[in-house]
Structure formats: structure tokens, C-alpha cells
Amino acid sequence: MKKLWWAIIVVVFLGIEGVQVWQFLKLRKDLADLKWSIAVAGHDNDNVITPDVGTIQFLKHGGYSIQLDTAKYTNEGLELAGFVGNPTNLWVSNLSLKFTAQKQLYQYQDDFNKDEFSFYFGPQAIGEAQSSPITSLIPGGRQRFNITIPNVKQTKEGIRLVVVFTGGERYSYGP
């Protein structure tokens, strides 16, 4: 009888330890998921567009718009041509657009889980291109741009295009 009690105590102890190990592993996974959610949320304010022709897409900062009339994959990469629009009452001069092609954010999660620091400086770019400077973008106007982003191939998941002004632009109330 004494052996039976010891066996029951050992089984109960192993069961309790098993539950604690399971809770610990679940907690680690939940923490990893939380870290990933925070990392992705850090990119909520990125100016992201899709390579859709004819659709006016608004950037999150300032309400500027991008309308593509060409988006095609070539041997050189993704060719984009279209217009950047200015909804403000400011004249913008010396404006260059930088396009960065990336995989969809969810595709970086495995890399992030292996090394969190791989994502802190942004998702790794597939390719980048900068437009020639637009000399003047009048209030309510739009100007043409044309770029080719190298190394970009068409995939079933699609790509994430992030657009930024390169920082050399000037704003004024008159020409």
C-alpha cells in the first residue's frame, strides 16, 4: 500500500510539473507574439502604397497622393510611373520620392523570432529607388515621376511599397 501512495504522489508531482512547463512554454510564446505585435505596430505610420494602376492612394503624412499609370515587372525590376499630388496650400520644390520594396510584414516574423534585432531598423528591403527631383509642385497640383526599383520580382504574396520624401524638399507659400 505504501508503494501505491508513493506512485500516486510521484504521478501527481509529475502532472503538476508538466502543467507548469506547459504554462511556461505558453507564456514564452505569448511574449514572443507580443514583441512581434509591437514591432509591426511600429510600422503603422509608414506611407504604404500598392502597385495598382489608376487608383489614387493617399500618403499618411500631409495627405499627398500617388497615382500610378504604369506598374509593371521587367527584367530590371518594378517600373513605376505616375503622379505625386499636392493637396496643401504650400509650394513644394526639390521633391524626390524614395520607394522601398519589401516583403509583406508577416513574412518577416520567422526572422524576427530568430533575431529580434533584425527588424528594429525596419524590414529588409528587396530594392530601393529614388525619383529625379521634382523642381516644383504647386498647391493643388501634381507632377510626374518615373522610377524602376531593382531586384523586385512579382510574387503571389505581393510586395509592400513604402514611399518617403527624401528630406531635401523645400516648402513655401509662393514660388
Q: Which residue ranges make up each domain of the chain? A: 1-41, 48-172
Global pTM reads 0.81
- Tens digit of each residue's pLDDT (9 = 90 or more) over 111-122: 888 888 877 777
- Average the pLDDT over 38-59 and give the result: 90
User: Do β-strands 125-130 and 97-102 pair in parallel, antiparallel, or remain unpaired?
Assistant: antiparallel
- Tens digit of each residue's pLDDT (9 = 90 or more) over 121-164: 778 899 999 999 999 999 999 999 999 999 999 999 999 999 99
pLDDT attached to residue 29: 83
Model confidence at 175, pLDDT cuts 50, 70, 90, reads low
Beta-carbon contacts of residue 114 (< 8 Å; ≥ 6 apart):
none
For the record, the C-alpha cell of 27 comes out as: 507564456
- Class of 48-172 per CATH? mainly beta
∠ at Cα 64 (58, 65), nearest 5°? Answer: 50
Beta-carbon contacts of residue 171 (< 8 Å; ≥ 6 apart):
90, 91, 92
User: What is the C-alpha to C-alpha distance for residues 65 and 63, in angstroms, rounded to an integer?
Assistant: 6
More confident residue, 5 or 91: 91
pLDDT attached to residue 152: 94
- Average the pLDDT over 27-39 and give the result: 84
